[in-house]
Amino acid sequence: MAGARMGASVAVVTLHLETIGQMPCNPSIGGIGKGHLVAEIDALGGVQGWAADRTGIHFRLLNASRGPAVWGPRAQCDKDRYATIMRRLLLGTRGIDLIEGEATDLVVGGKAVCGVVLADGRRLKAGAVVLTTGTFLGAVLHTGEDRRAGGRFGERPSIGMGRSWVGAGLELRRFKTGTPPRIHRDSVDFARLEEQVGDERPRGFSWRTTGVRNYTPCWVARTPPQVQAIIEENLERSPLFAGQIEGVGPRYCPSIEDKIVRFPHHKEHTVFVEPETRAGNSIYLNGLSTSLPEDVQVAVVRAVPGLERAQFLRYGYAVEYDVVAPRQVGFDLAAEAVPGLYLAGQLLGTSGYEEAAGLGLMAGINAAASVLGKEGARVDRTEGYIGVLIDDVVTRDHREPYRMFTSRAENRLMLGVDSARERLMVAGVRLGLVPERVFHVEQCRWEARRQAITQLEATQLNPNRETVEMVLGMTGVEVRSPTTWAGILRRQDIDIRRVGDTLSGLAHLAPEDREVVIGRLKYRGYIERQEREQSRLVRLRGVKIPAGFGFRSISGLSREIMEEMERTRPRTLSEAAQLAGMTPAALALVAGRLATRGQGGKP
């Protein structure tokens, strides 16, 4: 979509037109780390957050009690409406042709890709091809002993494509993911579940959104100890443990059978009971992802208090699929082995809608830019989570599906959802994906926040009687030595809501911006220290590694790391630092060796 809006003529090929925008797993967008990605996609002009806002039925800000750097906005969406809106957005974008069919091969002219061949024999010519086969490539679905080819429930896989890539020199790898069963709303005894309401003041993701609201609560259930026994009895019927599945699944999103086996001392596991649509009947059992046989699934679900009468609408299943092993694309997501070919989405070994959207957006932008002869876009890992994501996909070897966490970002404190637009919107404007007028409105808001910070830092509070009483009345804090308002607000024990409405300098801001201002005040000392540190690190990291550098001549390096460096040939120390298995000690050896050669140039 971004490509078309940049002026390219785009053909979107999919196996099933009606499944565009389909969320095969939990219809929820955002979360911690993932919410950061959505905010950044939105700032660059992507539509995921907007679609989530328009179809959201339950909004919650995770980590709301913490500072803005780790806020994780999350929306439970109406699955059907989300898909509908996404389809409409595609149909409504000038320059996009939607084509149903299976792409089976790449057309290669010379060395570069110049189109695709469809199963029905059609040939599509293109200056650049973006592949996003998701979970479809060579895909196999598993439910218990039952095993069939398919990319998602009820959808066939994509078989031909993989073979042509292996020919093109791309290394593939096998991953696995899974989804829980869906049950009928009327069969749930909600009175026995713990209710979880959405936020009092729900916030949307997008600058396009004016307001969002909650339509439904969600619920929480817990698995009782007997679930452990049920699963243990049937473990040999689990494709995961019977050895049927070879693909590597995500550790942080394990199936219930995985959880039981890996954490036998946990007697209880949480299940979030979430509606899939606003008005429909389907209920998603978040936390019960499984590929056990159907009868076992029924036994497990019905063992959960509140779900004893559960009627199944669909059984859980696991899917195994091919991905392109990491480190075969450049920072623009172009495949290194095949010019003109771009890769994105789950195909790159990530997992999740947000990761897929971030990669899809950037691949689309860069592919279109290459065709249009424009400048593409790149987000550095210090600039945003999209940068962290791409950098990791490009330089690190992950052996399981990759999901975003805030702890992956080195300078997390500067990459909060609150600053996504400040960081990235200017790029969205340059690419023509964000209207300038929106940017100007936003700019005013950023400026107001910045001024508030300056003002609060500057307002002196001296411990005279008048001031002491005023501050005590407003905050409950007693001023004992001269300080500033910023100093008071930095304290951990301040109730923002109490001060926000009355304190000049804050009162004129929107409630959300007040929290941002206070959060940033709290980070300030740390960030200043970090910036000082940064200048030191930048010097080291920028050190270039000459092209013919002999990594093998460095003694003390482990064989793996040596081979890794010979293979990937990092160009700078910072690239070397990010290699899988790289240790600081090994890096020190490389740095030392570089210094010897007298080639450690300053950037």
Ligand X SMILES: Cc1cc2nc3c(=O)[nH]c(=O)nc-3n(C[C@H](O)[C@H](O)[C@H](O)COP(=O)(O)OP(=O)(O)OC[C@H]3O[C@@H](n4cnc5c(N)ncnc54)[C@H](O)[C@@H]3O)c2cc1C
Smaller CB separation from another protein, 23 or 299: 23
Smaller CB separation from another protein, 106 or 577: 577
CA atoms of 496 and 511, how far apart (whole Å): 9
CA atoms of 56 and 82, how far apart (whole Å): 8
CB of 317 to ligand X, least distance (A): 6
H or E element: which one contains 318? strand 317-324
Q: Per CB under 8 A, does 11 bind another protein?
A: no
Q: Per CB under 6 A, does 158 bind ligand X?
A: yes
Q: What is the 3-state secondary structure (H, E, C) of 488-553?
A: HHCCCCCCHHHHHCCCCCCCCCCHHHHHHHHHHHHHHHHHHHHHHHHHHHHHHHCCECCCCCCHHH
Q: Per CB under 8 A, does 331 bind another protein?
A: no
* Partner that binds at residue 523, options ligand X, another protein, none, CB closer than 5 to 8 Å by kind: another protein
| Binding test (CB under 8 A) with another protein, winner from 159, 494, 554, 580 | 554
Q: Per CB under 6 A, does 25 bind ligand X?
A: yes
* Partner that binds at residue 296, options ligand X, another protein, none, CB closer than 5 to 8 Å by kind: none
Smaller CB separation from ligand X, 115 or 600: 115
Rg, C-alpha atoms of the chain: 26
Q: Per CB under 8 A, does 413 bind another protein?
A: yes
Partners of 61 in the beta sheet?
73
Q: Which two tokens stand for residue 310?
A: 């559960």
CB of 26 to another protein, least distance (A): 11
Partners of 507 in the beta sheet?
none
Between β-strands 194-196 and 460-461, what pairing exists: parallel, antiparallel or unpaired? unpaired
DSSP 406: G
Q: In 3-state terms, what secondary structure has residue 124?
A: strand
Smaller CB separation from another protein, 68 or 364: 68
Residues 224-253 that bind another protein (CB under 8 A): 252
Smaller CB separation from ligand X, 152 or 421: 152
- Cβ pair 191, 320 in contact under 8 A: no
H or E element: which one contains 322? strand 317-324
Q: Per CB under 8 A, does 270 bind another protein?
A: yes
Rounded to 10°, the helix 48-55/353-372 angle is 140
Q: How far is CA 485 from CA 69, 479, 498, 499, 506, in A?
A: 22, 10, 14, 11, 11
Stretch that binds another protein, among 138-146, 292-300, 453-461, 520-528 (CB under 8 A): 520-528
CB of 321 to ligand X, least distance (A): 8
CB of 409 to ligand X, least distance (A): 18
Smaller CB separation from another protein, 184 or 408: 408
Q: Per CB under 8 A, does 588 bind another protein?
A: yes
Q: Per CB under 8 A, does 477 bind another protein?
A: no
Partners of 142 in the beta sheet?
147, 318
Q: Per CB under 6 A, does 24 bind ligand X?
A: yes
Nearest one of 210, 216, 178, 186 to 75, comparing CA atoms: 216
| Binding test (CB under 6 A) with ligand X, winner from 53, 102, 322, 575 | 102
| Binding test (CB under 6 A) with ligand X, winner from 1, 2, 4, 13 | 13
Residues 421-480 that bind ligand X (CB under 6 A): none
Q: In 3-state terms, what secondary structure has residue 402?
A: strand
Stretch that binds another protein, among 49-57, 91-99, 291-299, 404-412 (CB under 8 A): 404-412
Partners of 314 in the beta sheet?
182
Stretch that binds another protein, among 10-18, 64-72, 84-92, 349-357 (CB under 8 A): 64-72
Q: In 3-state terms, what secondary structure has residue 447?
A: helix
Partners of 282 in the beta sheet?
184
Q: In 3-state terms, what secondary structure has residue 82?
A: helix
Site string (337-356) toward ligand X, x via CB under 6 A:
--------xxx---xxx--x
Q: Per CB under 8 A, does 412 bind another protein?
A: yes
CB of 474 to another protein, least distance (A): 21
Stretch that binds another protein, among 11-19, 61-69, 375-383, 428-436 (CB under 8 A): 61-69
CA atoms of 320 and 177, how far apart (whole Å): 7
Q: Per CB under 6 A, does 19 bind ligand X?
A: yes
Concatenating the DSSP letter of every residue in 188-221 gives --GGGSEEE---SS---S-TT-S-------EEEE
H or E element: which one contains 593? helix 584-597
Phi, psi of 320 (to 5 degrees): -110, 135
- Cβ pair 561, 570 in contact under 8 A: no
Q: Per CB under 8 A, does 44 bind another protein?
A: no
For 129-248, where are the E strands, in sequence order? 129-131, 140-143, 146-149, 172-179, 182-184, 194-196, 218-223
Smaller CB separation from another protein, 60 or 152: 60
Q: In 3-state terms, what secondary structure has residue 413?
A: helix
Q: Per CB under 8 A, does 553 bind another protein?
A: yes
Smaller CB separation from another protein, 112 or 540: 540
| Binding test (CB under 6 A) with ligand X, winner from 161, 307, 415, 586 | 161
Smaller CB separation from ligand X, 286 or 370: 286
Smaller CB separation from ligand X, 151 or 384: 151
* Partner that binds at residue 595, options another protein, ligand X, none, CB closer than 5 to 8 Å by kind: another protein
Contact set with another protein (CB under 8 A): 31-33, 62-63, 66-67, 69-70, 72, 74, 252, 270, 405-407, 412-413, 492, 519, 522-523, 526, 530, 540, 552-556, 583-585, 587-589, 591-593, 595-596
Contact set with ligand X (CB under 6 A): 13-16, 19, 24-25, 102-103, 132-136, 152, 158, 161, 177-179, 253, 289, 319, 345-347, 351-353, 356, 360, 403
